[in-house]
Chains A and B, each alone.
Chain A
């Protein structure tokens, strides 16, 4: 158990809908990262937050957004969902910059029908 929690574990929804994925980092970790894992694209970095502020952005679609709250938990919002958004979404956390070690949560499996 990495200490990172993610909810829900599974999510099934329809195209065009909007969903919110939640992540709680390890106790004491200030940095949260979101990744998308699909069979054809592998593990892709989406976005990073550090102590409530956006710190780095990867291949995140404009339909996707995230935020980190004062209690350091983070939410990833996915809107106008498409079939191709079906994937595993992982959250990872690390202590602080520039610490590199990231600890991954168990993931949320999103299925868009």
Chain B
């Protein structure tokens, strides 16, 4: 089955700095890569996703890149703000039997943005 590795487990930055979180996956059939942000006491919230036919996607201060050959993808947050502090999860999924897309999640990165 799919295996997703996520690094680092903790990332501490100063407000205004950039933050980068990296993930690798093992199953070459995976073709959808969402990123989730989980704040304390809440469920994961989809913040950006990328599909395997695209190498990069950007949404304001957040960008995601995908390298299919190397099987890795990254989340980039620029101009970090204290409200970006949360746990971020990457995931990888591809079509399974019956057409379901069941994501395999990384272990999460705790991002701390210091004012």
Tell me whether B45 and A102 are in contact (CB under 8 A): no
Tell me whether A56 and B102 are in contact (CB under 8 A): yes
Chain A interface size band reads: 20 to 34
Tell me, yes or no, whether B8 is within 8 Å of chain A by CB.
no
Tell me whether B93 and A43 are in contact (CB under 8 A): no
Tell me whether A100 and B93 are in contact (CB under 8 A): yes
CB < 8 Å neighbour of B99 from A58, A98, A102, A107: A98
**Contacts of A11-70 to chain B: CB distance below 8 A:** 33, 42-45, 48, 50, 55-56, 58
In the bound complex, residues from chain A placing their C-beta under 8 Å from that of B44 are: 43, 90, 104
**Contacts of B45-70 to chain A: CB distance below 8 A:** 45-46, 49
The proximity string for A residues 99-113 relative to B, scoring 1 for CB distances below 8 Å and 0 otherwise, is: 111111111000000
Q: A100-B93, A101-B34 are in contact. Are A48 and B102 (CB under 8 A)?
A: yes
Interface residues of A (CB under 8 A from B): 2, 4, 33, 42-45, 48, 50, 55-56, 58, 90, 92, 97-107
Closest 7 CB pairs of A and B: A104-B43, A56-B100, A43-B105, A97-B99, A100-B101, A100-B32, A104-B44
